[in-house]
A and B are shown apart, each in its own frame.
Chain A
């Protein structure tokens, strides 16, 4: 099951040239771009690991693309996303976030139904990948 999270999630994966122009757009707006990766892509998991430091003083997309390539090389079977942080007063939050790397095989999620009091049902999504410990998933 193909994971869809963040911006552009219903488009096919962006090519490197497209990613590069998105980064260029972020830099043009003065946003700081950072790279994060995880092997636990549960939609509620907002704490992905950071790859390197947030890149505050980069002027050109080539610098971030180089960092992205090295992240892909280090974590070829992880999910990788780019975040663009806007530090403008009153905003101070992420403006753009999209997935730029994913494992070859994505097992997807299971929907668990738990029956509680009466006929109520509680739903939980659980990633098949997290049945194995961290580092051995995917």
Chain B
């Protein structure tokens, strides 16, 4: 280490004082990479998900420091950045993967920064000899970017020992190991099933450096997510609807098939439907822009989530 820094100093400075190692400006590299903007955007647009954000910041820091080390001729080899995203449906795995591709691209870790999202069907073939070319095709497309394998545990079907999924896994493993600088693979899926998947494929588990768990959202977080979604869709809630929405979310969480942000999006879409038919029913009168963008409490309260509660309440009363 000493000899390297000394050599560097001498090369830079024609009057050698034998002394100080070159000062490196991490902040300059940070600004130059423009990564700050992406991290801010992440902070702003992704609500909650603290463990995810902190891990992304760690990775960004590692890559920046690696860049500096590289400029001094210190090599650590390309870090393995294959990841696994586990979490319940609608916790933002795909969104974060997209953002991750952008971050890795800004940091110069992947060359193009595109995201190819695939599932088992895109990787595994129908008959003998079909799987390898199919998997290679997908890998070829993903080179220079991020390959996102959704519901990755379907690749491994222990109940059928002649399943072609195993072949796809082997090819993936080989490329993940040998062409680390060409692509990053992200596996995503539900926590328990991904755990089984990794347990039955130890080779896979050890090649995935980052296991990131996406926690469920709290009602308050879901409420602010809904706020962001409405902003993007250019709608607004009146103040009563706002409290109703929070109430809706609290009830919806307790019901089966709750899919976090996705359920919220669906609820908002249905509220938009109801708002449209409400406006349609009182046609004849003139509508203001205000009418077109406002969702009222009644639009949300008409949901079956409230209806179920009511009928359950009635059943109790009877």
Contact = CB atoms under 8 A, between A and B. Distances in A.
Interface of A: 52, 55, 57-64, 66-67
Contact of A59 (B139, B145, B179): B145
Contact of B144 (A55, A59, A67): A59
Contacts of A57: 141
Contacts of A61: 143-144
Contacts of A62: 111, 143-144, 179, 182-183
Contacts of B182: 60, 62
A67 B136 CA distance: 9
A60 B139 contact: no
B114 interface: yes
B179 A60 contact: no
A60 B145 CA distance: 8
A120 B234 CA distance: 83
B141 to A, nearest CB: 6
B99 interface: no
A58 B142 CA distance: 8
Interface size class of B (residues with CB under 8 A): 10 to 19
Contacts of A67: 140
Interface of B: 111-112, 114, 133, 136, 139-145, 179, 182-183
Contact of A64 (B139, B140, B145): B140
Nearest to A56: B141
Contacts of B179: 62, 66
A55 B142 CA distance: 12
15 contacts: A52-B133, A58-B141, A59-B112, A60-B111, A60-B112, A60-B143, A60-B144, A60-B145, A62-B179, A63-B141, A63-B142, A63-B143, A63-B144, A66-B139, A66-B140
Given A58-B141, A59-B143, A63-B142, 10 more contacts: A57-B141, A59-B112, A59-B145, A60-B144, A60-B145, A62-B143, A62-B182, A62-B183, A63-B139, A64-B140
For B143, B145, B182, the residue with the greatest tally of chain A CB atoms inside 10 Å of its CB is B143
Contacts of B183: 62
Contacts of A66: 136, 139-140, 143, 179
Contact of A55 (B133, B139, B140, B145): B140
B36 to A, nearest CB: 26
A62 to B, nearest CB: 4
A55 B112 CA distance: 17
A119 B165 CA distance: 70
A57 B112 CA distance: 13
Contacts of A60: 111-112, 143-145, 182
A58 B136 CA distance: 12
Nearest to B183: A62
A65 to B, nearest CB: 8
A14 to B, nearest CB: 20
A61 B142 CA distance: 11
| Top 9 A-B pairs, shortest CB-CB distance | A60-B144, A63-B140, A63-B143, A62-B143, A62-B182, A60-B143, A59-B112, A60-B112, A59-B114
A63 B139 CA distance: 7
A57 B140 CA distance: 9
For A57, A58, A60, A64, the residue with the greatest tally of chain B CB atoms inside 10 Å of its CB is A60
A66 B112 CA distance: 17
Nearest to B145: A59
A120 B3 CA distance: 77
A52 B139 CA distance: 15
